[in-house]
Structure formats: C-alpha cells, structure tokens
C-alpha cells in the first residue's frame, strides 16, 4: 500500500510507501553514488527483442502491423515495474488526528522512446519524436477518464544524476489522486490572474518576452524557447506555445510535429553546449475535469486559464541545504547569458535541419 | 551584482548572479560529479594555523585569550569567499515589466565548527556543539539588526552529494532581503492557524505526536526528535522544542546545551544507521522584526505564532524530474519504520552518554 500524506506545515502532499519499506541497509548502494544501469543491448529490458522483460504494454506505436509485446515498435508504453503509485490502491480519503491521508491510487508508466539503445531523445528524427509526443497525448487522454485521478504528470530523467536508473532513453508518467504542489501553485496563479484581468498570465509574459528578446533562444510560428526571467537552474528553458492552449491533449499530430522539431533543437543545443548533461524535463498541462459519480466523464480539462508548456532543467548544480531547507535556488548563470549560448547552438542546428527537411515530412 | 528575481508563475524568489556568470565550460567539472575537497590538514583553509587562508573572522569562540585570526579558537565564523549574496549590493526593490527584482543585499558566512579536520559535527563533545549553537545565535542577533535583511538562514551541507565543497566540518549562514519561500509558507500557515484557533499549530502537532508515540524517536524534558508524518525524505527528522518559542535567538546557553545534546544523538544515530550519510540540516526560526527608517531596531522577531525547529535531511535518494517538476516527493521509508531504527540507535548512544556525563558539565 502506498499513501499520500499531507504536510500541514509545508502545505504539500508527499507519497509514502508503507509496504516493502526501504530499511537502512537498502540505502548503502545509493549512498555510494547510484549508477545508471547501462548493460549491453541483450540485457537491457527496454531493447527490441526484450519485450518479455517488461510488464505487458499499455500502448505502442507500430507502423508495420507487428503484434503487441513483440519487436517492430517505435514507441512502447509499459507499467513501471516498481510503481510509486498503482491503480489497485483505490483513492480513499480520510483524516488521522490533525493529519490527512489519501490512499495511493494512481499510475506509473514508462514511455520507451525508441528501440535503439544508443540514442537520446534529441538524437531521434523529428517524426520519431512526434510519435513519442503522440504517446504522451494518448496516455493523458486515457488516464483523464479515470475519475479517481487528479493529474497526469509526464517527465524525463536523463542520466543517473538526474534520477535515471536505466540508461536506455525513456520518459515516465505518474498519475496522482491529488494535483501536485507545483502545478497547484501555477494553476492558482493563472486562475486568479484571469479572474482579475480576463487575460492569461503566460500569454502576457510571452508577449513581453518576445518584445524584449534577450531571453528568447528560438522562435517559430508556433513555439518559443524561453530562458525564464527567474530561472532556478542554469540553462533552464521552457518551450511555450505562442497560442493560448490550456490542455496539451488537445494538440493534433501536426501541432505535435512542430513541437517535436522545437524540442529536438532544444535538447541538441543543451547536449552540444554542456557535453550531454544530465537533465529533467516535465510537461505542465491542465488537470482532468473533476468528475463525480453520475457526471459524464471526458478527457478534457476545465482549467481554461492555464497555458501548457514543457520545462527543461539541466542538472549542473547540487541541490543543497539552502535550496531544500529554504526553497531558495541560486542560479549562477543569468538567463540572458544562457540565451546567447543557446541561440548560437540552436541556430547552427536549425540551419542544418531546415536544409535537410528530413523530419517534418512524415 | 547579484539579484533576487520573482518568478510570477512559481510564486517564488530566485537568486541570480549577474556578474561573473558561469559559462557552459564552467560546468564540465560539476557534470562529472563534484567531489568534496579533502586535502590534508596543511592545505585545508578551515584548519588551525590556516586562519590567513580565509577572509578575516566576523566572530569566534576562544576560551584562552587567543587573538582574532590566530590559532586557539573553538568555533570561527568567516565570510564565504564566494558569496551568494553580499551586504554591499544594497537592497533596491524595483519592477521590470511584469517582473519584480530586489538587488542582492545579504550575507553569506561560514561557521567552522572545530579546528579538528577529522571530526564531524556529531562527533564533537556536547559542550563544543553548544559553542557552535551559540555562534549561530550570536550571528542571528547581529544580522537581525540590519534593516535591509528579512531572514537569516543557517544550514549545513555534509558531504559532496549534499552540496559541501570543503570536507572540514562547517555550517553556513545566508541572510536574505526576502523571506525564503519555504519559511514564508510555514510562517503563513502558523499565523493563520493562530488567528483562527489562538493555538500554535506546531504545539498541537507535538502534543498529538507524543500521545501517538510511533514517530517520536527520542524525548527529553525539552526536546523531541520527530520523524514527520509526511516526511519528504527517508529518515528525515525534526528536532522540536516542546515549549513554544518562536525565536531561536532567545535561547540561553543552558537551552542550547540541551539542544546540543539532542542534536548530537540525532546526528550520531544517522551516522551509525546509514554509514555516515550525506545530509543537510536547516534551522527554521522566526524572521527579524520588519523595521522601517526611524523605528528602533532590535534583534527580536514579532512572528510569535511560529515555533522554531531544526530539520535534518539525510540525502539517500536522488531528486529527479517528478520532485523538481511537480514538487511531489516520494519517500520509500515510512516515518514509523524510520522511528524504530532511529530509536534503537539513539537509545544505545544516549545510554552511553548519560553514563559518561562528559558533555553536559561545562
């Protein structure tokens, strides 16, 4: 059994594993630096031909009529073998003294982005990355139908220092019975801004930042790569859609193909500039509609004031006592400086990619 | 120049270095795992006899009439050579478009806890740890007099994985022109609770937790070692004073001596259980009185509803995309399990320490 417990002082939920608890001796390896498992292709559970080494697939993109759980896939979504949350746990909500608990109903899935063991997400062709983004969308739409869930978070850990335990490139999805703290904060700010001004805060911000220019590393008709004014991390970037849209799951394949192109440039520029750094990315989108028994279920959201985006965080600095204990991040590279470097790197790639035009034609 | 920038979407301040910005090439070392500098005693800038290798001391405890910046000290406080903030930067507050900025007035100091290169904080005698805690108090009282400052945060990074860049045991202090996000949250929750109930939230919590018992690893007349109900990290503990007190700086030497004893047991039990793990601790206390020109300055606080405490976080798990991007922590060791282990370890030490009675007699 896993449960979510509310911290009344920090005002946030925490996921606690109450079964198979890790004892002190379980942490000795982690203590001496965890290393990403980088076995050869034969031993890797995410490689083609090893489909039986994962739980049965939930979703896959196959363009060749191949059968589920067999070779021939482009993108494959499977349950996490060691889930942080699982759907069988129900979503019971109760109080214990002054504390609050929700039992840990949720989902934890792995999106295997390619059968190729040796490529990173940014190395894939744009049409392949588009298939990854389509998989994200399809999983969100499916999970939004479950009335117990309040959020579906998609994220990526690249390399051990960023939390990856398997080297073969993959993203993850965790669906939770409560809106995560960071998202709750962002949704609240956007909602309050809209109520007082009838404008989207992030739309305002995009307009101002495009005019100012010095924090825009790249701009297409549809997206910008933005180094946030108050970046918490060096070389942090956000991919923001220029047009207001609250729910990522509303994007069609063409919109996702354009996003894939922008994401590829972003990831390749970080790889070039920072020597393939560990990084995390996270997709922030509006939560599912709050459904109650008897109400029709639908995968759309009603948080229209939000503006979906992707946040990409290279892991170049250590999160220490000041950051953890005070919530104050120290960023030694101003976003204006990061932008100059990123812009140069992106432009060199963008030139190449435009010429070859491989990827936007599917 | 350093500055604090407000993130209007995340609703928090970030410290940005706008001078001597770190470029991509500055991160290559960090990328291959930072190692703590562990030179021998001669090269270490924090060892006795190397007083000239640090900036001149701000404060020291010397029990032998030795001169400032010379050997003979027990605890020594010096400015950080690479400060995150410094007092010379002023505290100018202004807006730029939709964004807000405060220039980076503050202080960044290092508390060298002992001249002994080979001991950790928990290894020191209780009277020595008391001197460290007295140094914390004296620095807080001094900095609270500066009307530009809104908070003084004391924290410790033990080992490289927890953010330490020098192995010789030390704590740090960062004073900021804004209340840090985590503290602001805690102060708000405590203030609102007091206004609606005329009771301290943390006093309520302590009472309930002592009755429940299963998350109290140790209890003296004055303090408890508590594994928080919603611990974000495995083996996280808080040292909480049983008596309501908002401001750490109000403690007398006797109170600090009792705290030193509890802190020693806490640190030694973690060292024993988890093989000297990397850890952070942070002192949470009320902020200085908000003074305006013409008002008398004083080091006391007016946030009476708060309840000071120390939070200790062993760094056993990696902070990955889910934690950073969603603010959701996953803790694989429930606090009730951690408590059992901690209690056994503490009791074995406490027995010994009681017998020897070395430390409480000064």
Residues B217, A6: Cα–Cα separation, whole Å = 21
The 10s digit of each residue's pLDDT in A226-236 is 999 999 999 99
Under DSSP, the state recorded for B27 is G
Does residue A39 surpass a pLDDT of 90?
A: no
Sheet holding A59-61, edge to edge: A59-61, A75-79, A107-112, A170-176, A151-158, A279-284, A309-314, A237-241, A223-226, A216-219
Q: How far apart are CA B15 and CA B176, in angstroms?
A: 10
φ, ψ for residue A270, nearest 5 deg? -65, -40
Query: Which residues in chain B touch residue A319, judged by CB atoms under 8 angstroms apart?
Result: 163, 319
Residue B44 DSSP code: -
Q: Which has more pLDDT, B357 or A262? A: A262
ipTM value, please give it.
Answer: 0.90
Neighbouring-strand partners of residue A223: A241
Contacts of B106 (CB under 8 A, 6+ apart): B83, B84, B85, B86, B87, B89, B149, B174, B175, B176, B177
Phi and psi at residue A116, to the nearest 5°: -75, 115
Torsion of CA A335, A338, A344, A348, to 10 degrees: -100
User: Which of B22, B162, B323 is closest, CB to CB, to A320?
Assistant: B162
| Nearest one of A14, A22, A251 to B228, comparing CA atoms | A14
Overall average pLDDT of the A318-332 stretch: 94
Please state, in angstroms and rounded to a whole number, the distance separating the CA atoms of residues B139 and B128: 17
- Contact between chains at A161 and B33 (C-beta distance less than 8 A): yes
Per-residue confidence (pLDDT) for residue A356, from 0 to 100: 46
Q: What is the pLDDT of residue A290?
A: 64
- Whether the predicted pLDDT of A341 surpasses 90: yes
Q: Classify burial at A130, counting beta carbons within 10 Å of its beta carbon; exposed 0-12, middle 13-18, buried 19 or more.
A: buried
A62 token code pair: 């196959």
Domains recognised in chain B with CATH numbers: 36-83+104-356 (3.30.428.10)
Note whether A170 and A159 are within 8 A (CB).
no
- Asked whether the CA dihedral B329, B17, A200, A136 is positive or negative, the reply is negative
Chain position carrying tokens 């606080």: B301
Interatomic CA distance for residues A79 and A144, integer angstroms: 17
Q: What's the pLDDT at B297?
A: 61
B283 vs A20, A231, B172, CA distance in Å? Answer: 32, 26, 11
Q: Which of B126, B105, B139 is nearest to B356 (CA)?
A: B126
CB contact under 8 A, B230 and A16: yes
The terminus-to-terminus CA distance of chain B in angstroms comes to 45
Residue of A nearest to B206 (CA): A98
The residue assigned the tokens 């350093």 is B2
Point out the residue among B99, B151, B273 whose CB comes nearest to the CB of A229: B99
| Of B63, B62, B84, residue with least CA distance to B13 | B84
pLDDT at B304: 87
- What are residue B312's DSSP bridge partners? B237, B281
- Contacts of residue B162 in chain A, CB cutoff 8 Å? 318, 320-321
Q: Residue B295: phi, psi to the nearest 5?
A: -85, 145
A-chain residues near B10 (CB < 8 A): 182, 185-186, 230, 232
Cα separation of A293 and A281, whole Å? 34
CB contact under 8 A, A21 and B332: yes
In angstroms, the CA A330 to CA A332 distance is 6
The helix/strand/coil state of A207 is helix
Residues of chain B with Cβ-Cβ distance to A331 below 8 Å are: 14-17
Catalytic residue among A170, A284, A307, A309: A170
Is the pLDDT score of A193 beyond 50? yes
Q: Which of B158, B170, B284, B309 is catalytic?
A: B170
> Are the CB atoms for B156 and B287 separated by under 8 Å?
no
Question: Which candidate in B24, B35, B82 is best for mutational testing of the A interface (most A CBs within 10 A)?
Answer: B24
CB-based burial, B299-337: b 16+ in 10 Å, e otherwise: bebebbbbbbbbbbbbbbbbbbbbbbbbbbbbbbbbbbb
pLDDT digits (tens, 9 = 90+) for B79-127: 999 898 988 877 788 999 999 999 888 999 999 999 999 999 999 999 9
Q: What is the pLDDT of residue B293?
A: 56
Tens of pLDDT, residue by residue over B235-263, are 999 999 999 999 999 999 999 999 999 99
**pTM value > 0.95:** no
Residue B148, Cβ neighbours under 10 Å: how many? 18
B239: nearest Cα among B272, B207, B212, B264 = B264
The residue among B101, B284, B318, B341 with the most chain A CBs within 10 A of its CB, best to mutate, is: B318
Element (H, E) at B312: strand B309-314
Of A28, A33, A325, the CB nearest to B280: A325
Residue B117 known to be catalytic: no
User: Pairing state of beta strands B216-219 and A151-158?
Assistant: unpaired
Query: What residues form DSSP beta bridges with B317?
Result: none
Q: Which residue has the higher pLDDT, A36 or B310?
A: B310
Report chain B residues whose CB lies below 8 A from the CB of A24.
235, 273-274, 341
Helix (H) or strand (E) segment spanning residue A15: strand A12-17
Q: Mean pLDDT across the stretch A166-178?
A: 95
Residues in chain A: 362
Longest distance between any two alpha carbons in chain A, whole Å:
64
Q: Taking chain B (362 residues) in consecutive chunks of 10 residues, what is each chunk's mean pLDDT?
A: 91 85 75 50 85 96 93 97 84 90 92 97 97 97 90 96 95 95 94 94 97 96 97 97 95 97 97 95 89 61 89 95 94 96 90 51 34
**Which tops the pLDDT comparison, A295 or A305?**
A305
How confident is the model at residue B60, as a pLDDT?
97
- Does residue B119 contact residue B48 with C-beta atoms inside 8 Å? no
A219, pLDDT greater than 70: yes
Average pLDDT, chain A: 89
Place of tokens 């109290």: B216
Model confidence pLDDT, tens digit, residues A76-125:
999 999 898 988 777 788 999 999 999 888 999 999 999 999 999 999 99
């Amino acid at each position: 059994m896993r449960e979510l417990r509310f911290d009344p002082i920090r005002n946030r939920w925490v996921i606690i594993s109450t079964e198979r608890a890790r004892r002190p001796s379980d942490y000795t390896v982690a203590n001496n630096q965890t290393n990403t498992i980088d076995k050869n292709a034969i031993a890797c559970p995410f490689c083609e031909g090893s489909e039986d080494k994962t739980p049965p697939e939930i979703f896959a993109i196959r363009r060749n009529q191949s059968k589920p759980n067999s070779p021939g896939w482009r993108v494959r979504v499977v349950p996490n073998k060691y889930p942080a949350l699982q759907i069988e746990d129900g979503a019971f909500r109760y109080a214990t003294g002054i504390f609050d608990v929700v039992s840990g109903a949720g989902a934890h899935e792995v999106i295997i982005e390619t059968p190729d063991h040796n490529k990173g997400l940014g190395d894939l062709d744009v049409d392949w990355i588009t298939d990854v983004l389509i998989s994200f969308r399809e999983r969100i739409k499916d999970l939004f139908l479950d009335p117990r869930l309040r959020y579906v978070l998609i994220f990526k850990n690249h390399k051990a220092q960023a939390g990856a335990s398997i080297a073969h490139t993959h993203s993850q999805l965790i669906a939770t019975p409560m809106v995560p703290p960071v998202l709750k904060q962002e949704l609240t700010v956007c909602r309050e801004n809209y109520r007082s001004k009838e404008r989207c805060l992030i739309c305002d911000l995009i307009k101002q930042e495009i005019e100012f220019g010095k924090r825009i590393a790249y701009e297409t008709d549809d997206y910008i790569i933005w180094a946030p004014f108050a970046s918490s991390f060096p070389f942090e970037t956000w991919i923001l859609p220029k047009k207001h849209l609250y729910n990522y799951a509303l994007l069609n394949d063409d919109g996702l193909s354009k996003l894939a192109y922008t994401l590829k440039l972003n990831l390749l520029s970080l790889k070039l500039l920072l020597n393939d750094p560990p990084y995390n990315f996270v997709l922030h989108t509006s939560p599912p509609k709050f459904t109650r028994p008897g109400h029709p279920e639908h995968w759309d959201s009603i948080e229209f004031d939000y503006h979906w985006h992707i946040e990409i965080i290279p892991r170049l600095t250590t999160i220490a006592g000041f950051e953890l204990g005070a919530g104050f991040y120290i960023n030694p590279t101003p976003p204006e400086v990061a932008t100059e470097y990123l812009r140069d790197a992106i432009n060199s790639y963008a030139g190449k990619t435009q010429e070859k035009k491989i990827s936007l034609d599917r």
